[in-house]
Amino acid sequence: MMLRDYSFLFITLLAFFASAEAQIEYNWQNSKEGWVSASEPNLGCVLVAEPNALAMKAFNQTPVMRSGTLQDDLNIEATTYDRVRISLKNPTASGNPNARLFIYPPGSNTATCNYNFAVDTMMVDFETYIISLDDAPTNGALEGTIARFGLRAPWGVANGDTIYWESMVVYSSLGCTDSLSCNFSSYAESDDGSCYFPGNPCDDGDDATADDTIDENCECVGQPIANIAETPAGSSILNLYPNPVAAQFKVEAQMRIAELEVYNASGKRIIVFQPHAETLALDATGWPNGMYHLRLVYADGSTGSEAFAVIR
């Protein structure tokens, strides 16, 4: 069902789909996930993809790895996500166990900002830490666009020490928290009202369908409107206004209208006229609220169609 000027009717639902932007996940089991060791000598390390995690073997006290090279760019706005969840294992006895998350702008190894986060020492299992990007960074300011992330091992590790990075997720704390919904977010901490379910109304983008709903597979599906023929290429442009309609509305075409039909959402024809004019005024006062479909046959035999809504 094609929505035009009246698309605000479903703007909330459309926002649900738009807000369902996937989180960024790095799972470092048998993979580096595109991460590379920093090229600066004072940040050196070797990365080894192991079955359970990415092993960072330190060359100095401040080893750093980054989510790609200078040419890589995630191109995301700094305000898109507000949480970073990191799972790691620090088996060392570092004297100052503050790990660090870096955020880099495009084309630079100089971080826009960074966040320190304290981790345990002498760990035998992986532990998870959540960094709130809503908090003030340790250094710099979170702004602009994010091209890459970086991670530094807890400060003070010795040459030859190894830190194990299991996973990292960058996500929004707001989302759908209902596990029965189509867009459940396992990382959401607070519900933002965006949940949608099978049976909810939607728009499938097809003006030859009506009663569009989310089906059991969480897909938007509409029912074909009976008796509505496809509009051939080259049909005259028509205007219908206002849309949505409350009472009186007009239909204007660029050539004479031989026949005009209006169908309701179930495909039932409710009116038919032979105006033999380019402009026609109609009255929807007695029509129930809902979606309608206008079909025109022009004097040259071509056809045109337009969907519209009646709202009071």
**Mean of pLDDT values over 261-273:** 83
**Mean of pLDDT values over 299-305:** 86
Checking DSSP bridges between strand 238-241 and strand 98-104, what pairing results, if any?
unpaired
Coil, strand or helix: which one is 231? coil
Choice between 232 and 209, residue whose per-residue pLDDT is larger: 209
**Inter-residue contact 106 to 197 (CB < 8 Å):** no
The second-level CATH assignment, the architecture, of 22-171 is Sandwich (2.60)
pLDDT digits (tens, 9 = 90+) for 104-159: 999 999 999 999 999 999 999 999 999 999 999 999 999 999 999 999 999 888 88
**Inter-residue contact 16 to 183 (CB < 8 Å):** yes
pLDDT at 226: 57
Rounded Cα gap, residues 234 and 304, in angstroms: 9
pLDDT digits (tens, 9 = 90+) for 202-225: 777 776 777 778 889 998 888 876
pLDDT at 8 over 50: no
- Residue 266: pLDDT band with limits 50, 70, 90: low
- Helix (H) or strand (E) run with residue 16 in it: helix 11-19
**Inter-residue contact 135 to 82 (CB < 8 Å):** no
Residue ranges of the domains in the chain?
1-20+182-224, 22-171, 238-310
| ω into 232 cis (within 30 of 0) | no
- Helix (H) or strand (E) run with residue 65 in it: strand 64-66
What is the CB neighbour count within 10 angstroms for residue 32? 16
Q: Burial code of 33-49, b = ≥16 C-beta within 10 A, e = fewer?
A: bebbbbeeeebbbebee
- Helix (H) or strand (E) run with residue 151 in it: strand 148-152
Cα dihedral: 201, 202, 204, 207 (round 10): 70
Choice between 234 and 200, residue whose per-residue pLDDT is larger: 200
**Inter-residue contact 308 to 244 (CB < 8 Å):** yes
pLDDT at 238 over 90: no
Choice between 11 and 161, residue whose per-residue pLDDT is larger: 161
Rounded Cα gap, residues 248 and 287, in angstroms: 11
Choice between 94 and 72, residue whose per-residue pLDDT is larger: 72
pLDDT at 15: 35
Helix ranges, the chain (H): 11-19
- Show the tokens assigned to 238: 């028509």
pLDDT at 2 over 60: no
| ω into 244 cis (within 30 of 0) | yes
Q: What is the mean pLDDT of the chain?
A: 85
pLDDT at 3 over 50: no
pLDDT at 10 over 60: no
- Helix (H) or strand (E) run with residue 12 in it: helix 11-19
DSSP 184: B
Q: In the block, which residue shows the tokens 């897909």? A: 219
pLDDT at 179: 92
pLDDT digits (tens, 9 = 90+) for 53-68: 999 999 888 999 999 9
CATH code of the region 238-310: 2.60.40.2550
Choice between 208 and 39, residue whose per-residue pLDDT is larger: 39
Q: In the block, which residue shows the tokens 């969480």? A: 218
pLDDT at 21: 54
Rounded Cα gap, residues 65 and 43, in angstroms: 8
What is the CB neighbour count within 10 angstroms for residue 8? 10
pLDDT at 233: 40
pLDDT at 230: 46
Q: What is the distance, to the nearest Å, from the Cα of residue 13 to the centroid of all Cα atoms in its chain?
A: 13
Kindly report which listed range (16-30, 161-175, 251-265, 281-295) carries the lowest average pLDDT score: 16-30
pLDDT at 56: 97
Rounded Cα gap, residues 216 and 64, in angstroms: 46
